Structures are given as structure tokens and as C-alpha cells.
Structure 1
Amino acid sequence: MSFAKYYIENGHLKSGNCKSQNKECLVIYDVLRIEKGYPLFIKDHLNRLYEGIEKSGHQLSVNAEELAQKIKQLITAEKRTEGNIKIECSFLHHEIIECHYAIYFIPHFYPAPNLYQSGVECTILNESRSNPSIKVANTPVRLLSNQILEKTKVFETILAKDNIITEGSRSNIFFFKNDQLITAPETMVLAGVMRKKVIETALKLNIQIKYIAINKNDLPLMDAAFLSGTSLRILPVRKIDEHIYSLPHSLITELTEGLYRFFIDRGLGK
């Protein structure tokens, strides 16, 4: 059964499923969450997409306003109120302008409600992204992580090249120590949109933030940990390898409630 009825290809609405492009292309992408028919944080996502494309030395032939309209056109055509949309921009390495771009709904996984209470298990992967500021599809690190997730059945791999923890393979990671929020500097991670909203929420709540990439050996010294991401939002971590964290944690709860109060509910027009 077809997952989606429509997709946007090079600005045109088409019926059917979007097909994968030339594997030799550099593919830069972003994923937005649709809720109540509205694309959450669309400006933030498009800003990150365009910044990543610019950093890679390429350009997109359409501007952000045009792309936003195409996203809304797809939502209307699909008549969906919930889900994830992927924006995929493909570039031939010797050309500046994209050879192809597409916008389409993808299968989504939102953690079960009980995981926000019990937390998830993660494992350390001794790798890092070569250019974390650009969201590139099918990187070797992501493919290796997928293999580990399939084999171990943990929820996420945490990247820790030379024991320095930076981010998850498909998420950002935060820690709490003595009521202080700890996360790696933006130069070391993919600056996720939800990561940005978590940091903004923490500042509104007067939670002190320390931008440092902790050493793997310091995991037992942390009081709590959580992941952030478009589909995850704020997801508590119960265990990283042999290190177990107690849940619930009051500041994770406070951040989660603040995130909805300051950003998500407002974004949905409440």
C-alpha cells in the first residue's frame, strides 16, 4: 500500500511515492513535524536547511518563502493533520545549483507515552560526524548506527569520538548535573531545531546552561540525561550502556512543560 498520495518534485505537485535520486549526489535534507495540519517551527527548519546548503558550497534555486508554500500545498493535498515531512535537496558535486529537490511525507515514529516516563536505553558509538553542521543523508556514521540499533535494540547511539560525547546519531543529547544543563557546543553538533527550543526554554526558566562536551568517563557523575529531536521533543534517558539514571527528574519535567507552554502550544495557535 502506498504511504503517500502526493509529493512535490522540483516545485510540481505529483501523485504517488517519491523515488530515490542518484546515489552519487550529495543529499542535504531536513524533517519537519506536522501537528494539527501545521508545520511546527517551519522558519527554523528552513533556516537550518539553507544554512547547511550554503556551508556545503551549494545553492537552492527556490527561496524559503516558495519552499514554505510548497510544504503547505502538500499538506493540503494529502489532507494530513499529523506526520513528518522531509525536504530533500540533491546536488551533483561539480554543480552549485541542485539537480533535484523533493518534499514528501515519510513514515514517522513518535515514542510511546510510557517512554516519556520510563526513559530509553542508549549505547555509546565511538564515532563523530565529519561535518555536524550539515544534515546529510546516508552518512557512514548514520548507516553504522542503524546497524547497531537493529542489532542491540537500544533506542539511540550516542556519538563519542575519543570518549568525547557530542550528540546522538539522530538526536541531540543533554545532561543535568547539580541543576545545571550541560550540552556540547553548537560547533560540535547538528544544531537541531528542537535543541534550539530546549535551550530557549531553559533560558526562560532561568536554568543555567554549560556548553561543554563531557567525557564518557563522566557519565556516572551526571544526574540525568535526555534526548531532543523533531519526533522525540524531550525524551528522558534511563540508561547509557551500564550507567543508569533515576526518573522522573524534576528539571526534565519542568523543561518539557515549559517547551509546550512557551513554544509548541503557541505554534499550534493556542
Structure 2
Amino acid sequence: MSLRPASASGTPAKLANYDLNGTAAEATNASSQAPKPSKATPSQDNNNANIDIFVRIRPVAKPSPRLVVDNSDNRLEFNMPRDAAAGYVNNQREQYEFRFNGIIGPEAKQDEVFERVARNVVMGSIEGFNGADTEVRAGALGQGQGTIFAYGQTGSGKTFTITGGPQHYADRGIIPRTISTIFSEVTRRADNQFTVHCSYLEIYNETCFDLLDPEREIKAMEDLPREDEEGRVSFRNLTIHRANNEEEALNLLFLGDTNRTISETPMNMASSRSHCIFSIYVEARRGRLTG
């Protein structure tokens, strides 16, 4: 999910230059794969960090004794026994240690995940901050950006974390809660004018698709992605859609989810093999709407 400044308004329009790169990101990693050594350590100074990394541990029927969780130090330790088939001379590592900005345990509910991972990013974007950067740009009240993404193997719980479960209201994921928070803030800040737009992009087999194509034909984007001088990946012809309230924004999310490319995998028969970016564009201007 991506939060970005908006400059367009009205009914579905073509976005001239869509930026795929978020300047502030927080990730929930629900992967249950055997860990690999990490070369990067998340910053411990949240005031200066551009990227915060959270790990979410999925509930399992029988917890593994090989996993040690140290919440006081935000550290995970995996103890992996050596493969006896390798013989007496075996340099295989037995211990893997990883540090994060936060650990979300298997008992955590969806509201806790949103509060810990997403709320600061959402509010910072509304206020006009660029992630953890405190600079507010001129012009509109706020033009902040933020990105939240999930990484993990198939079946690890990424979809549940990001969009939520279909049965219970309490199981809403990060995106529905973000939408609700944004429109609550819009209502609360009645002295300013807000407009909200959404877009939904799918990347499948190295091809981009507009999941909110008004013609209801999910065609490949006309222009291939490209990189500009500042290293930002962009392309043309992605539609953005006005959302006047929470219900309309959620309907756009559900429509895009329905149009996603689904294929079967050995691990999850209903797993999507595509990557998707749901973007919310918020424009704020001083003064009430008159007329």
C-alpha cells in the first residue's frame, strides 16, 4: 500500500507519472522459511530511519523450540541443527540471529498490527511528512508519502495482514483500517478541503496491469516502466479514481482484488502469483469548500 500526494481530481483520470518508489516503508514479514543471514540491521533511531522492519509471527498449533523470541531487544534467534549427512567436517551454521524494529507475536490482533506498524505512517502522510522526514512542502497543506508492504512466502499471512479476513469486522487488515483512518481525519479537519483518490496496480510476469480499468478489461499498461534520473520507476496510463467516502474507497479495493490474476501453486491453491500496489492519494488545502 502506498500513500501519496494528489494533484488530480474528479472522475477516473490518467495519471501522468506514477512513482513506484515509497520514501518511507514499514514491512510486516510473516515468512516461515528457514532464515538466511541478513546483511542489514534496521535503524534503532525511529526519528531518522527511513525504513522500519517488523516481523509478525504466525500462530501455529505447535510452536517450534528452535525459535527464541526476545521482545525486550526485538531479536529473533533460530537454532538449526546441522545436517548429519554432511559428515564430521561440517561448517554449517547452527544459530541465526535477526533484529527488527518490532516483533508482533502470534497472539496479536489486527488492530494492534495497524497501531504498531501503520498508524504513524498514515498520520505522517496526512500531516505532510515524507515518512520520518519532518519537512513539509509548500503549496498544499501536506504532500507526504509513505509505503507499507508485506514480504513472506506463500501461505505466511501477507494477505491477511494487509487486507484482512473476509468474515469478521475485527479482522480488517492494514489497508481497510488506513482508509477508515484517513476519512476519519478528513471529517475531523473540517476547516480544510480534502480530496482522496485511489489506484490499484498489479505486476504479473514482469507486466503491469491496471486493476481499476474503467472499461473492466484488465489490459497490460501501454508504456513499459522506466527509471528517471533520480532513480524513480514510473510509467503512464494508470487510472486514479475519486473516493468521496470510506465506502467508495473500500469498493475500489474490493474491485481490484476481484480482478487480480490468480494461479494455482503447490502451497496454496488460491494464492496470487502477482504483486499489487494499492495507492491512496490525499490532497489537502486550507479553507472550507464554498459555494
The question of a shared fold, defined as TM-score above 0.5 by the shorter chain, is answered with no
TM-score interval, smaller chain: under 0.3
If the length of structure 2 is used for normalisation, what is the TM-score?
A: 0.25
Which structure has the larger Rg? Answer: 2
Q: Which has the higher contact order (CA 8 A, sep 6+)?
A: 2
If the length of structure 1 is used for normalisation, what is the TM-score?
A: 0.26
